[in-house]
Amino acid sequence: MLFPTFDFLVFLVPVLVASWALGHRPVARVLLLLGASYFFYMAGPKTDPPPTPWYFAGLLVFSTILDYGCGLQIHRLAAKAQSPDPAVATWARRGRTSFLLLSLVGNLGMLGYFKYTDFFVDVFADLCHAAGIEFVAPHLQTILPVGISFYTFQSLSYTIDVWRGRLTPEPSFRKFALFVTFFPQLVAGPIVRANELLPQLHKRPRLSPLVMEEGLFRIFKGLVKKVLLGDWIAAQFTDAVFATPEAYTSAEILLALYAFTVQLYADFSGYSDIAIGAARLLGYEIPENFDRPYQAKNLGEFWRRWHMTLSTWLRDYLFFPLGGSKGSPARTYFNLWLTMFLVGMWHYSPGTSWNFVIYSNLHGLAMLYNRWNRVRKRDRSRRGRAVVTTLTAAVALGVACGGFAQWALGLPQQAAWFCAGFAAVMFVLVTWLPLRGGPLNTILHVVLTYHFTVLSRVFFRAPDFETAKSMIAGMLRFDDSLVRPGLLTPWLWAALIFGTFYHFTPKRWVDETLYAAFRRLPGPVLGVLFSLLGLALMKLMAGAPRAFIYFNF
C-alpha cells in the first residue's frame, strides 16, 4: 500500500480511531496494529510492475519467529556462560554463538537469495566471458520482496543486541512481532532498533494536540516532497532521459542528474516524513532518517546525514565489530572501505548489473580519501614534500580514472583523457583546501561534495550498466545544443529550482518557523489545505501512483 493514495487514507483513519479507542486495552491495541501492519504489507501498492505477491508476508513471519526464538535462547544461556565450571561456560558460549549464527544465516541468507542471486550469476557469467569460457547464465526470475532489506536488518539487530548483553529479550511475542512489522516504517524505513520502539510498546500512549500537530505536519511535508517534487519531476523529465539518453544533449543529461538528485531526496525523505508522521499519530516516535544531507562539507558528513538509520546500523554492527579505527591504519582503511562498500551494495536492486559495484567503490574510495585528508599531517616545514606527494597521487588517480573510462566505460580517448584530468584537478583542489575556514571555504567544500554525489548517481539511477555508459558518453560529447525549448515547462523549472533551493535552506526555516505557522492555522484551514493537496495529488498522479524508489531496495 502506498502512502500518497486514497487507499491509505481509507486504511489509516479507521486504524487511528480504533487504536486510540483501545488505548486502555494494551493487548487489543497491539493485536490491532499487528493485524493492520500485515494487511498494509499484503495489500501491496497498485503499481506497474505489480508488487510482490501477498504470500511473501510469510518471510516476515519467518524472520519474526527466527529472531524471537534465537533471542530467547541466547538470553537463556547467558547465565550459564558465566558459570564457574569451564565446561558448562564453554558449552553455553558455543550455544549462544550458534543461535546468533542461526539468526545471521537465516536473515542474511534470505536477503542474499532474493536480492543478490541474479547479481552473482551475472558476475560469474561476465567473468567467464572475460576468460573466454562459454557460459549461458540461467534466468532465475527471483522476485524482490518489498521491504526485505529493511525488516531483516531491523530484526537481526535485536538478536545481536541480545547476544551482546545490551538488550533483554522481549517476553511478549505479539509486541516483538509488532516491532518487526510496524507498518509506518515496514517497507522503506527508517530502520528502527529494538531499544527505540519496544519500550514504547510497554507504555500507554497519550493523545495530545501537540502529537497530532507534529504528525500532521510531517505527513503534509512528506506528501509535498514525494508527489510535488519526487513523482512529478520523474514523470515529466528524468524517467525519459534515463530511458533513452542517446536522444538528449549533454546539457539535458547533466540536468537530468541534477533533477534526479532532487527527486531521490524528495522521494525517500518524503517517505520518511510520512512514516514518522503516521507513527506520531499513533503515539509512537521513530528515528529521523535525514538531516539536510546536501549541506555536508565532505562525504563522511554526507553519509551521517543521508539514510542515517542505515549508516549508523552498519557502523554499529559492522564497522565497530571489525575494529573500527582502533587498529593499524591499513586495517582502519579496510574496515571503512568494507562498510561503505556494503552501504552502496545494500542499495543494489536486481537487474542493475555492475552499477552498484562501481557506485559502492566510488563512495568507498572517496571515504578513504576523506579520512586520509582529515588525519594527515599539515606541517608547513614539509610543504615541498607534501606538494610532491599530492601531485604524484593526483597523477596516479588520473591514470586510473582515464584507464577505467576508456577500457570499462568504452569512452573515446579524448573523453577518457578529460576524465583523467578532471579527477586529478579535483583531487589537488580538495587536498589544497583547508578543512576549516571562512564562509567561502565552507561553500567550496559543500559544492564539491554535492557535485560528487550528483555525478556518482548516474550509476545509482541507470537501470543497467549499458545505460550508465551511454549517459556518461552523452555528457562528455560536449555538444553545442543546450536544453531545448519546450523540454521543460515553466512549472517544472520552478519545481527543480525550488527543490534544489530547499536542500540548502537552514533546517530551522521548516522545522521551526514553518511548523510554528502550521500550528497556528485553524482546523478548518488545515482541512482545506489537505483537501487541496489531495486534489493536487490526484491531478498529478492521474490515477497511477508511483512506488517509492527505495521499495526497490
Instruction: Kindly list the catalytic residues.
Output: 347
Angstrom distance (rounded) from CA 493 to CA 49 = 29
The rounded distance, in Å, linking the Cα atoms of 74 and 96 is: 5
Spatial separation of the C-alpha atoms in residues 181 and 155, rounded to whole Å? 9
- Residues 30/201, Cβ–Cβ less than 8 Å: yes
Q: Which residues contact 108 (CB under 8 A, 6 or more apart)?
A: 152, 156
Which set of grid coordinates corresponds to residue 521? 492555522
Query: Quick one: angle between helices 57-76 and 86-130, nearest 10?
Result: 150
In the numeric block, the cell 544465516 is attached to: 105
- Sequence-separated (6 or more) residues with CB below 8 Å from residue 87: none
Whether 185 contacts 221, CB under 8 Å:
no
Residue 428 grid coordinates: 589537488
Residue-by-residue DSSP string for 224-237: IIIIIIIIHHIIII
Task: With residue 402 as reference, give the H or E element that holds it.
Answer: helix 383-407
Grid cell in block for residue 22 = 483501545
CA distance 118 to 183: 29
- Joined grid coordinates for residue 228: 510535488
Which residues are within 8 A (CB) of 177 and not within 5 positions of it... i.e. 6 or more apart?
A: 34, 64, 68
Rounded CA-CA distance 385/40 in Å is 62
Nearest to 277 by CA among 213, 228, 234, 365: 213
Longest dimension (CA), the chain: 81
- With cell 563512495, the residue in question is 363
